[in-house]
Structures are given as structure tokens and as C-alpha cells.
Structure 1
Amino acid sequence: MNTLTISLDSVIEMNDEQFFRLCQKNRDLRFERNAKGDITIMAPAGSDTGMRNSDFNGYLWSWNQRKKLGFTFDSSTGFTLPNGAMRSPDAAWIVKERWEALTPEQQSRFAPICPDFVMELMSPSDSLKVTQAKMQEYQENGARLGWLINRKVCEVEIYRIGQPVEVLYAPTSLSGEQVLPEFVLDLELIW
């Protein structure tokens, strides 16, 4: 199944609360919303991609438990970015102080915050162009580090604020740099 994008602007203007309720009423579907309000219904990841996402999230969680610098989030988490889009990266991490500055109500919904770190692991059904645009959007909305991992071609695109995208071909590991200090991902887990 491919993704399906629906434009409702000529029919209804959906606010954040209405969109949240739509997602809650349809928990079997995965939604994202772009800054224009178009809603994308996404296909679930294949089992192989899901396993690798889970492994990655486990390593990120374990690192975070040791460092206690912030909070980790999986692909079922939605964030409302400053531009109004609601996105769900495959993995995300937010600095502790930024997360704790949100109210409990904000934390319980699609938190109005862009993660400090995001990772997208390409599924066979994902469009590279669409995923690159999403990574650019994270960067433009404040993500300090982003990894777009394309297993099909063993390529990683690294997104950093104020810098051009860096492309690595068949790297063996990735560093969390200053954003995720001392975090190193062994890409044998992913490839």
C-alpha cells in the first residue's frame, strides 16, 4: 500500500484539536499533516523495517537511560512543528529541559515541539523525495540533527541546522555528534 494524501481545505478547516480527535478515533491508521493542512494516511512499515526501527529505538533508549539528557520517542508519536505540520518520525529525541517546559496537556497530545534529533528509516513503500522533504522540514523547524537512512542503497543523509545535507555511502557507523553525545550507531544493525 502506498501513502494517500487528502486535501480537505475546500471542504473543512481542521484545527489541532479536531485532527487529534480524528487520529484517536482511527487508531489503526497512521496520519501525518503537512503545514498546508493536507492529511497523509501512511502504510504501516514492513516487518523487516519495523524490526530495524525497533532495534534503533532500543539503542537510542538505552543510551538515553545512561545519559539521562532527554526523552526518546518511537514512530507512533506525533509532534506539532512550529510551521503547523504534525509529523511522526521513526525515532526522535528531545532535550530534557525543552520537554519539561511543556505543560502536561501539551505532552499528552501532539506536543508543540520539534525534536532535537529525528531519524527516518526508509521503507520499501516510502518515496525518497517525500522523505527528504520531511527531513528538510524537520531541519527548518529546529531539529538539530537528522538521519535519513536508505537501506536500499546503503546511504545515509545527515541533516544539520544551517548546513547542507551530508550524504554518506555505506558508512559503518554514525555519530550522535554534540546532539547525542557519545551515541554511536553501528549500521550493521540496519543494513
Structure 2
Amino acid sequence: MNTNLPVATEIIPMVLQLQPAMSTTGYAYALTDDQFYEFCQLNRDFRIERNAAGELVIMPPTGSESDQHNFDVIVQLGIWVKQDGTGVGFGSSGGFTLPNGAVRSPDAAWIKRDRWEAIPPERRKKFAPIGQYLKYQLALEEEQPERLLYLAVPLDTYRSFFTLELPRLLIQRYQVRLIVFDPEEEAIVKWQK
């Protein structure tokens, strides 16, 4: 007897919606930043993120090939960080608070050293706030005006945040260029100039 079982190739995260059942905090999210951090510490065996809507996203492990690619990216970034010396690098288990309130864990990250050191130490121990795109844009315009700066945004963040009226107005007013990418497909979905 030959039995062919389907093989799942798509990695789908589990999304836990907490609103309105847990909206007793008086905060935009069901869990405050400190509560979310403590929740993650209590559940260290899971990779937990929070999206802009305040939903908890439990990420499954990546496939072996994807992780091999991620490892190569982290190694290359690590070598460059050590050689360059102007910033600090992070692996895939660190969480960062984005301007829209989401807490995400990128596959790899780099932050300019003076920007990292400007974050209060107590904030660095938890999910450090990052994503100061406009500051980088202003600095780049002053020092290297011929270069163009693009803000790379995951597809789900683009759909949940950048399609809202205020972010659209800010993008238009500050002429923010976007690269929208699908992290699952490892592909650029949209270039917005």
C-alpha cells in the first residue's frame, strides 16, 4: 500500500486576538509593553511577536533551508558589524518595538551604535524602540544627498498600518520611499517612490 501524505510547505503563524476580551488596561493594546514582555519571558519556548493591532503572533519554527539562509545572513552581518565597528548587530531572537507599537523579531538587524546607546539601558533590556526612519532620512540628506533612502516594510505591516489615513499622509508629506516585502516568499512585493 502506497500512501502519499500532503506536506505542508507554508509556515503560518498563530494569531491570538485579545481585544475586546482583555481590554481592561486603558491602553491601546490588551497588554501593556511591560505585561507583554513578562508574558514573553514566561513563555520563552515560543517566538511571540505583537502586531500593530495588538494581536499576539506566535511564530512557528522556520524550515531548515530558510534557517540555513538566515544563518548565512547573520554570519555575514556579524562579520561586517565587527569590521565596520559603527553599530551593533542582533540575531533572530531579539524583539524590537516599532513606531506603530508592534514588537517584531527580525531575522537579523543592525543599529548604529550612537542610536543604540541613546536608548535608555532599561529599555534596551526589554524590546528596544527602533525605526527612526525620518531621522536617518534627514541625516542622509545632509551628508549624502545623492543617495536615496527606502523604508523596508513587511507586507503584513504595510497592509495593517501603512494603508491607514495618517500613515499615508505622513508618507506623502515626508516623501517616504517604501520597499514592501513578503518575508515568507522572500520577495519584494512593491516599490513605492
Question: Is 1:132 equivalent to 2:142 in the alignment?
Answer: no
| Normalised TM-score (structure 2) | 0.64
**Contact 1:79–1:88 (CA<8 Å) still a contact in 2?**
yes
Alignment match of 1:70 (pick from 87, 95, 101): 87
Say if 1:151 and 1:85 are closer, same or farther in 2 by CA, change over 3 A: closer
Alignment match of 2:50 (pick from 11, 19, 33): 33
Matched AA of 1:85: A
RMSD across aligned C-alpha pairs, in angstroms? Answer: 3.5
Say if 1:70 and 1:57 are closer, same or farther in 2 by CA, change over 3 A: same
Say if 1:3 and 1:91 are closer, same or farther in 2 by CA, change over 3 A: same
- Residue 100 of structure 2: aligned partner: 83
Say if 1:146 and 1:52 are closer, same or farther in 2 by CA, change over 3 A: farther
Matched AA of 2:48: F
**Contact 1:145–1:158 (CA<8 Å) still a contact in 2?**
no
Measure the CA separation in 2 of the matches of 1:56 and 1:148. Answer: 17
| Normalised TM-score (structure 1) | 0.64
Instruction: Looking at secondary structure, tell me which structure has more strand per residue.
Output: 1
- Please state whether the residue corresponding to 1:5 is helix, strand or coil: strand
Aligned pairs, number: 148
- Please state whether the residue corresponding to 1:27 is helix, strand or coil: coil
Measure the CA separation in 2 of the matches of 1:48 and 1:16. Answer: 33
Say if 1:65 and 1:20 are closer, same or farther in 2 by CA, change over 3 A: same
Say if 1:101 and 1:137 are closer, same or farther in 2 by CA, change over 3 A: farther
Measure the CA separation in 2 of the matches of 1:77 and 1:24. Answer: 12
Measure the CA separation in 1 of the matches of 2:127 and 2:181. Answer: 22
Bigger radius of gyration: 2
Alignment match of 1:16 (pick from 14, 33, 40): 33
Say if 1:144 and 1:18 are closer, same or farther in 2 by CA, change over 3 A: farther
Structure 1: segments with no counterpart, 5+ residues = 117-129, 166-191
Structure 2: segments with no counterpart, 5+ residues = 1-10, 23-29, 134-152, 171-175
Question: Is 1:164 equivalent to 2:181 in the alignment?
Answer: no
**Contact 2:97–2:130 (CA<8 Å) still a contact in 1?**
yes
- Please state whether the residue corresponding to 2:128 is helix, strand or coil: coil
